Structure 1
Amino acid sequence: MNIQNCQQIKVLVEGQGDTKQHAFASALGQIQKKIMQESEVILRIEPIDVDIVKAAQKNYTERFFFFFFPRKRTSYQVTLEVLVNVTTLLVENVVFAQEQTADPDSIHIPVISKKI
């Protein structure tokens, strides 16, 4: 009985950050979230290939109270298409043994007998 399934999936993720490394880390951190929406029980997610769809650098000047202390700011945005190898657990193929037990949340009330 096979309870594991291995398949390759393409995932499109986006990320942004103050540095290039933060932008890529933000995008790659979203892979698990995207795959968890589609599958129930995941054993392993293994990236195989990464393609850069879009990489943008935005420069702007930031000022305090519109006039004071101007400084140059940079932000990075990336869109990646990642091919991942996903190993999932097929829960519907698992055979569970059935046991009859007492309710663990019940309260045991002892039988009260009258002695006269």
Structure 2
Amino acid sequence: MDQSAEKVTLVKAWNMKMTRKDAGHVLISYQPLMSSALNYPGANFTSDGETLRVSLPNCLVTLKCRVMAPSTGNEAPSKGFWYEVVIPYAGERVMVDGAGPVVEELPMSN
């Protein structure tokens, strides 16, 4: 096995981007692996003033899953399907997870 192969992270695998929406919010866009049985209804989040922890849970399409911030689904011929969610933001370091054991930092995109 080639040990020099690049490790695929959640942020890269889901093509996550975080941009400023306005002075008090960020917009997180992401493209999880598509499944006919799952959707991604939005985000749950907590902040201790220094770190903003964001979870992007999945849910069976037949269920209504509650989240703190609902997502919107978008589609474009050249980009495919992606989700967007707006989260309150006060300049904290952002740690994100896709409802799994992997938690990683999500940097601000330009």
Taking structure 1 as the reference length, what is the TM-score of the superposition? 0.30
Larger strand share, 1 or 2? 1
Q: Which has the higher contact order (CA 8 A, sep 6+)?
A: 1
Larger helix share, 1 or 2? 1
